[in-house]
Amino acid sequence: MYLKEINMIMLLILPFLFIGIINRTKSFWGGRKGPPLLQSLFDVIKLFQKGEVISHTASFVFQISPVISFASVICAGLFVPMVHQKSVLSFEGDFLLFSYILATGKFFSIISAMDTGSSFEDMGASREALFSSLVEPAFFMMLGTLGIIAGGLSFSDMISFSRQLGQYALLISMLCVIIMFVMLLTEGCRVPVDDPNTHLELTMIHEVMVLDNSGPGFALIQYGAAMKMLIISSVIINLMLPAAVTGPLAFIAMMAVTALIIGTIESLTARVRMTHIPKFILFMSSVSFILLSITVVLVYGRIR
Amino acid sequence: MIVYQSMTLVYLCGIAAIILGGVLAVFVPDTAKAKVVALFTGIGSMLAVYPCIRVLAGAKPFFFILCASRTFGDVPLVIDRLSAFFVIVISTVSFLGTLYAVGYIRPYCNQNKDLASHFLFLSLLIASMLLTVTFHHALAFLTAWEIMSLSSFFLLTFEHEKSEVYDAGLNYLVSMHVGVVFLIIGFILLSQSSGSFDFSSFKAALNKGQLSVFTVFVIFFIGFGMKAGFVPLHTWLPRAHPAAPSHISGIMSGIMIKTGIYGIFRVITFIDSPLPEIGYFVLIISLVSGLLGVAYAIAQHNLKKLLAYHSVENIGIIGIGAGLLGLSYHNTPMALLGFSGAILHVLNHAVFKSLLFYAAGIVYHQTHTVDIERLGGLGKHIPFAAAAFLTGAVAISGLPPLNGFISEFFIYMGMFKGLQSGMFLSVSLSLTISGLAFIGAMAMLCFTKAFGVVFLGSPRSHYPNTVFNAGISIKAAMTIQCLMIVGIGLFPAQVFSVIVRIASQFVEIGNYSLGPTLQMLGNLSKGFFIFLTITALLWMLRVFMLRKAGVYAEDNLCKLSFLKKLSLSKYRYKTWDCGYQAGNVRMQYTASSYAAPFIGIIKPVLDYKEQIVYPSASAYRETPKKAGTCLFPVSGSFESRTQDRIETCIIAPVISLIIRFLNLFSWIQSGNIQQYILYGLIFLTAVTLWIMGV
């Protein structure tokens, strides 16, 4: 069936809904009515019709970076398993391209922040570079662990490992979900790592990096950030309930639930102090180490 | 008597042409020296590369055997596939290096510098590197190796009137000779056992079982690792590269240290089936090199020192890839992909590291400093260097779609292929995969720092007004390198089909089909093209939207000078400073502050010292410590210093122990000539007696 086309359309449209649900959840907990569900879509359309103001200090890098970052997110989205655990493009080793192409986008968004010569934006860039470098090892250790169990070496094959593991699959997938969830909060810049709504530049990470962007460039950045959250949560959904993701509607429903959870966490917890964020992210490494140990015991220890 | 094939004569003619260039350069005026060397290196490289291409295309190895004497035995010079690959890398990068030198050396002309010997040694270095990778005879190999070390020492101390350059040179010389001692021991062990100096006899000798393969391998690994720069033998690298002129740093870091890798590869071919402990030994050392190399690089604020530490990191990546574990576990795909990744990374690192050093050289000529904290905003002054540095930075961080990603992809895939063969192996591979990911992420942090602080933002100090004119030769050399980076990145399948022939020298391919791997790489480049297409489409969309909004700056597009103040929008304003209206350049984030959160995390492996000095404190009759807390601020200065903890905790104590031991013999050196003559007499008498068999 038109699975690839459906996935492609979902990849392009669902990010707005995802952000909308998060914002509505936050409004609910805050006792407000909240913006329309597709407000972020309207924002992007509005931004696209505007002009751009560019800093005197900024060079060509600043202008090409939003484009490269967004292209990297779309491209990474092509390799992520969505409905029916199928991705638009799938081949052996695609998860490496997934991770590294996101890193390319991040590289450019970091140097674009440094291009403005503002101390605030550099501060954000420094933090973004540090925190994302702490995420990588845990994510790759998880991939390595899945490689021990899985039958194939593409993203879709690795995530659908449950067939190989039987009754212990739930344990493994829960640990993976924890890892991916911390990654989602870090990469998506949500509470408790970063607060998209904060108004104090000194404590922001992602939002402070884009202070100078405007117009179409800023639209691409906003859209890209939402899409990145969508693709990571798509991995989570596929890990958590592989059997449930049988159709587009089920997928959208699961996505809505994830967004609800994120919104609830955002409303009910405070963000971590800046100096404690590395510890919060390194928690992910500990979990992935536990995951590795358990998997090795399960696979080689004849517990199965 | 000489036995040879005509193809090797072509190769030797190439080497002769390179040396001839160096000799001729002595007799021409200063301004023409570099051009003569570049011309002859170009011709020589082409001649040397031709037989190698024939070998890689499937011809049998070419050989040249010089039957020298009874003691030496036959001296073979063989171009097999491994040698051919290294010859190609060395001659290509050396030629580009000499081409770059034409422009780089111009400011030094007519400055009373000894350019004649500099270029003579440069040709000697290139020729000796070529000989090193083709001699298959222990003594000839060591001779070439020694010429290589000595000539690079003289090149390194180009600005020997500066004391730090002189120190760095001596440090390098001593390190290299410590390394050579281990190589000599290793070769003695092997040739004692085989009765010949020929490499081809070593394989049988090593596998007879008399020698411990592990011990021999470790001895060679220390010797070659000293040149390659594996931790903890890397300490000469961060000293040597900032001291050397940029074309020399590029050649040394790009290819000379790779001769160490060549040596290790060559030793691997001696071993029949490597024991797992050798594999784990290499894996652990390499992983530590990779992690520490990049971690130290982040803490460095000298651009060339930073690049030097990155060489340590990349040597580590090559070591991780040298899939010895795949060989010992008889896992063909793992070994094949690992070795292909390692071999390709040798080429990739040679290309992008020398490119980065060349860009740093332009920065040095433009600003007369490589201290990152004093630079900034250079993208507008020297856009060409900025573009080249950006290409190199993306490539060295291992990001797609450039070549660094391709070799790391091979290495990753090799490890993923080995995940399902045994508990111990899979755990160590998972940890290595995660370590390699961390290395890549840290490299990204480091190069966003280096590129962002040096080339973007506003200048942090006042530069001389004169713009360094890079000239056609520098631009040509660096453009070719950029094209190589992009080319290898975009067409991995074609590259792999060549590289796999070299890797097959280590790995028995047997009936393992390469089809799936080639298909995977084809998909990879499909992914790259999708990425580039989306980027181009989005860029056009953005131009279209700005044009529609009526803010498109038409006039700017005419002077489409890359990375300059080219702006799509006609609205420009100063950087948003959060409402503070008196921002200035001094308030920009510095490299130290960018790296500070990271340094806080890696403090256990790094000696990081901060010091605040209050020169005027005594005027206020305050103790310096209290000055920071007194009521009115006093002027003071801040300095931070980072030191390699490996060096202070491992290397320095060892050296002081050795010095204490050697001091016991200091009475031998009396400074009295008569006494030294006596030593000579005693020695001669003893030798005579020994030979006569008393």
Give ipTM to 2 decimals: 0.95
- Cβ of B521 under 8 Å from any chain A Cβ? no
CB B306 within 8 A of CB B372: yes
Mind telling me how many Å the CA of B657 is from chain A's nearest CA? 39
Residue B591: closest CA among B655, B642, B534: B642
State mean pLDDT over A19-35: 93
Taking each helix axis from N to C end, the angle separating B81-104 and B471-490, rounded to the nearest 10 degrees, works out to 150
Residues of chain B with Cβ-Cβ distance to A96 below 8 Å are: 409, 412-413
Query: Three-class SS of residue B318?
Result: helix
Instruction: Reduce the DSSP state of residue B640 to 3 states and report it.
Output: strand
Beta carbons of B293 and B313 less than 8 angstroms apart: yes
pLDDT value of position B252:
93
Q: How far is A206 from chain B (nearest CA, A)?
A: 15
The model's pLDDT over A69-86, given as tens digits with 9 standing for 90+, comes to 999 999 999 999 888 778
CA–CA distance, B356 with B361 (Å, rounded to integer): 9
Peptide bond into A242 cis (omega under 30): no
A272 pLDDT higher than 60: yes
Tell me the shortest Cα–Cα distance from B243 to chain A, in angstroms: 29
Contact A75 B531 (CB under 8 A): yes
Distance CA A114, CA B453 (A): 7
B533 → chain A, closest CA residue: A71
Under an 8 A CB cutoff, do A100 and B399 touch?
yes
Q: Chain B neighbours among A 193-222 (CB < 8 Å)?
A: 201, 211-212, 215-217, 220
The answer, yes or no, to whether residue A208 has pLDDT greater than 90, is: no
pLDDT of residue A242: 73
Residue of A nearest to B552 (CA): A51
Domain positions in chain B are: 1-191, 590-648, 667-694
Q: Which of residues 87-146 of A touch B (CB under 8 A)?
A: 89, 91-94, 96-97, 99-101, 103-104, 106-107, 110-111, 114-123, 125-127, 129-130, 132-141, 143-145
Which among B401, B434, B585 is the nearest to A141, CB-wise?
B434
Tell me the pLDDT tens digit for each residue of A155-172.
Answer: 888 887 766 677 788 888
pLDDT value at A125 more than 70: yes
User: Does the distance separating the beta carbons of B530 and A89 come in below 8 Å?
Assistant: yes
DSSP state of A34: -
Q: How far is CA B87 from the centre of its chain?
A: 16
Q: What percent of chain A has pLDDT over 70?
A: 95
Nearest CB neighbour to B430, from listed A48, A63, A292? A292
All residues at 6 or more sequence positions from B67 whose CB lies less than 8 Å from its CB, including other chains: B1, B2, B3, B74, B75
Among A58, A201, A124, A55, which residue's Cα sits nearest to residue B457?
A58
Domain map (residue ranges) of chain A: 3-299
Residue among A71, A107, A110 whose CB faces B535 most closely: A71
State the burial class of residue B645 (Cβ atoms within 10 Å of its Cβ: 0-12, 13-18, 19+): middle
Question: Can you give the pLDDT at residue B109?
Answer: 82
Residue of B390, B419, B538 lying closest to A67 (CB–CB): B538
pLDDT of residue B285: 94
Residue B514, chain A, CB below 8 Å: the answer is: no
Cβ–Cβ below 8 Å for A75 and B429 = no
**CA–CA separation, A223 vs A13, rounded Å?**
10
Partner-chain contact B394 A141, CB within 8 Å: no
Cβ within 8 Å of B, A 58-77: 58-61, 63-64, 66-68, 70-72, 74-75
Q: CB distance from A50 to chain B under 8 Å?
A: yes
Q: Give the mean pLDDT of chain A.
A: 88
Q: Closest Cα of chain B to A83: distance in Å?
A: 21
Chain B residues lying within 8 Å of A110, measured CB to CB: 444, 448, 452
Place of tokens 């004569």: B9
Asked if B575 and A57 come within 8 Å (Cβ–Cβ), the reply is: yes
Backbone angles phi, psi at B2, to 5 degrees: -130, 130
pLDDT of residue B566: 57
**Which residues of chain B fall short of a pLDDT of 70?**
1, 68, 323-324, 553-567, 614-634, 694
B688 reaches A (C-beta below 8 A): no
| Stretch 21-50 of chain B: residues touching chain A, C-beta under 8 Å | none
What is the pLDDT, as a whole number, of residue B563? 42
pLDDT number for residue B429: 92
Question: Are B336 and B413 a contacting pair, CB within 8 Å?
Answer: no
| CA distance between the termini of chain A | 36
Nearest-by-CA chain B residue for A78:
B527
Residues of B in contact with A94 (CB under 8 A): 523, 527
Q: Give the span between the Cα atoms of A44 and A22, in whole angstroms.
A: 17
Under an 8 A CB cutoff, do A122 and B594 touch? yes
Mutate to test the interface with B, among A107, A139, A280 (most CBs of B within 10 A): A107
- pLDDT of A71: 96
3-state secondary structure of B153: helix
Chain B touched by A262 (CB under 8 Å): no
The DSSP call for residue B552 is B
Judge whether A302 is closer than 8 Å to chain B, CB to CB.
Answer: no
A136–B456 CB contact, under 8 Å: no
Of B436, B425, B400, B133, give the one whose Cα is nearest residue B258: B133
The candidate with the shortest Cα–Cα distance to B412, out of B345, B491, B494, B485, is B345
Contact state of A54 with B390 under an 8 Å Cβ cutoff: no
Cβ count near B389 (within 10 Å): 27
Query: What phi, psi does B457 have (nearest 5°)?
Result: 75, -155
Report the DSSP pairing between strands B637-644 and B606-613: antiparallel
Q: Residue B397 carries which side chain, given as an amino acid letter?
A: S
- The nearest CA of chain B is from the CA of A57 a distance in Å of 6
What confidence score (pLDDT) does residue B554 get?
A: 59
CB contacts of B588 in chain A (<8 Å) are 117-119, 122
- Give the count of Cβ contacts less than 8 A between chain A and B: 282
pLDDT at A287: 94
Residue B297 CA to residue B447 CA, distance in Å, equals: 9
